Amino acid sequence: MEKVEGNIMREMNFDAVIIGGGVVGCAIARELSRYDLRACVVEREEDVCSGTSKANSAIVHAGHDAVPGSLKARFNVEGNRMMEELAGELDFDFKRNGSLVLCFDEKEKPGLEELYEKGCQNGVPGLSIISGDQAREMEPNVSDSVVAALYAPSGGIVCPFGLTIALAENACDNGVEFRFLTEVKGIRRAAGGYELETENRRNGERAVMTAKYVVNAAGVYADAFHNMVSAGKIHITARKGEYCLLDKEAGGHVSHTIFQLPGKMGKGVLVTPTVHGNLLTGPTATDVEDKEAVDTTAKGLGEVMSKAVIGVKDVPFRLVITSFAGLRAHEDSDDFVIGEAADAPGFFDAAGIESPGLTSAPAIGRYVAELVAEKSGALPKAGWNGRRTGIVRPNELDKEARAALIRENPAYGTIVCRCEGVSEGEIEDAVNRTLGATSLDGIKRRVRQGMGRCQAGFCTPRTMEILARSRGMEMEEICKNAPGSEMVTGRK
């Protein structure tokens, strides 16, 4: 690096810089890694999957809700079709469990039929409208007041952490660089592309990155970056959704994802199993001015609980183990904003990515990467490897395989997180592998340490010891997530 003015340093050039390390940014990075380009992901947090991508419904939507002809409809259905093959390639958890949209009144049936027609126009396979009795045969805990339901067998559930991390690891293994704790402060056009002024959130150092192409996948902040370079302004509202997560004891309460007929503020409260065996309910939909407002409220969680039981009987909320909130990036057009900005050549948006953004991410990634490759004339990269192997989970192996693994590495026989059965070996792998975890939240998202019934009440000290040893850190340096969230302040 060279100093350009004051204490601002100039970074080396990139062909493409992706702003944002969420699921969409990482999907674009993975697809760009197919091409002979020098690409970099810039993320303001300490890890990928630290914003909207970590706090959502974890649903792979079938695609019957989006307006036909919209970008949401196109990329939802395409992303749904891609998910199964992608899970096989990248080794993350995905299950096609199917979904039901419940109707509670004969007068509301036209709304259900409208969803059916929209789904058919969007190309959703296997849709059918079933009776309330048929819905209860499929799901015994569905409300007695249900008179009909839309059944979508292509609906699914996924681990959003697993998907995002797998995309990022595979992108990195194929040459994409990642810069964490790096916040983009400004973008300006320059000869041959763009200059991005960045600030390191750990030490405050400023730098200028140059890129021929910029991809804007910055979630709730995507409007700010778009508006820095384009006269065609966009506006994103942060829409908060609150959730309750229930213990695995409640995980079998339903087997499908259960929706209610959507209203003007979204799809309403759902009840769904997760790929890890829990039960999830939510979200609410509240527009907020603060784009960091991920607090939960008594009102919001009360709404989740009261609405969930309208569609599903006897939801055992006594088994709630945690609650959380996420922010959806709602653009005023009520659709995704994807593609090259009309008056900013080389600046590509992936903005306004709210629901069904998680489902759509693989398809958005492929589409945007192809736009950048076509614009740049980049050729496919020789030796690109689209496969990635996830972290070994000893408690999912049979007895013989697990014994063999422990003989090879005894750390896999030492259980650190009792609730989730996570071993020391898994935590070490989470820290030491490609783009390994540097924080407690990073470990949690990779191996579920601390996600169980006690919510890290017992396993945190031992996990901190493993992280400190593996990273060569002092205990005082270990953070829950980004700097400022240190777990301890000193020693006696």
Active site residues: 61
With tokens 């007929």, the residue in question is 261
- Per DSSP (E only), the strands in 159-250 are 177-179, 182-190, 193-200, 206-216, 236-246
User: In degrees to the nearest 10, what's the CA dihedral of 304, 305, 310, 315?
Assistant: 130
- Residue 219 Rama label (left phi>0; alpha psi -120 to 50; beta): left
Nearest alpha carbon to residue 338 among 33, 78, 50, 80: 78
* Cβ pair 326, 241 in contact under 8 A: yes
Q: How far apart are CA 33 and CA 36, in angstroms?
A: 7
> Strand 177-179 relative to strand 320-331: parallel, antiparallel, unpaired?
unpaired
Q: Can you give the C-alpha Rg of the chain in angstroms?
A: 23
Does an H or E element contain 9, and which? strand 8-19
d(CA 447, CA 440): 11
Looking at residue 369, its amino acid is A
Residue 401 makes CB contacts below 8 A (sequence gap 6+) with none
Rounded to whole angstroms, how far apart are CA atoms 156 and 134? 20
Query: Residue 4 belongs to what H/E stretch?
Result: strand 2-5
Query: Which residues does 350 contact at the CB level (< 8 Å), separation at least 6?
Result: 24, 25, 28, 215, 216, 217, 222, 336, 337, 338, 364, 368
Give the separation between CA 469 and CA 438, rounded to whole angstroms: 12
**DSSP secondary structure string for all residues of 106-120:** GGGHHHHHHHHHHHH
